[in-house]
Amino acid sequence: MQVAGIGCVVYAASLADSARALAAVPLRREVGAPIGQGRIPARQALVADAVAVLERWAEG
């Protein structure tokens, strides 16, 4: 949020509130699973390239 220049965030529900309310929602479990352990096949690729882009971006 700092990178995007967002100056203030207001939350209504806490992370615990949303976890409790969405515990049965398959998408929440899927996105919270480690890569390759969800129902949808996933793998990591081009890690070094991605890290280089992130580092270059972080340098400004």
For residue range 11-42, list pLDDT tens digits in order. Answer: 899 989 988 888 777 777 777 788 888 888 88
Domain count within the chain: 1
pLDDT for position 45? 95
Dihedral angle sign, alpha carbons of residues 29, 49, 47, 57: negative
The pLDDT score that the predictor gives to residue 12 is 92
The gap from C-alpha 31 to its chain's centroid, in whole angstroms, comes to 8
The answer to whether residues 40 and 30 touch, using CB atoms and an 8 Å cutoff, is: yes
Q: Is residue 4 part of a domain?
A: no
Inside any domain, residue 9: no
pTM: 0.44
Q: Name the residue range of residue 46's domain.
A: 15-59
Taking the C-alpha atoms of residue 19 and residue 29, their distance in angstroms, rounded to an integer, is 10
Domain assignment of residue 1, yes or no? no
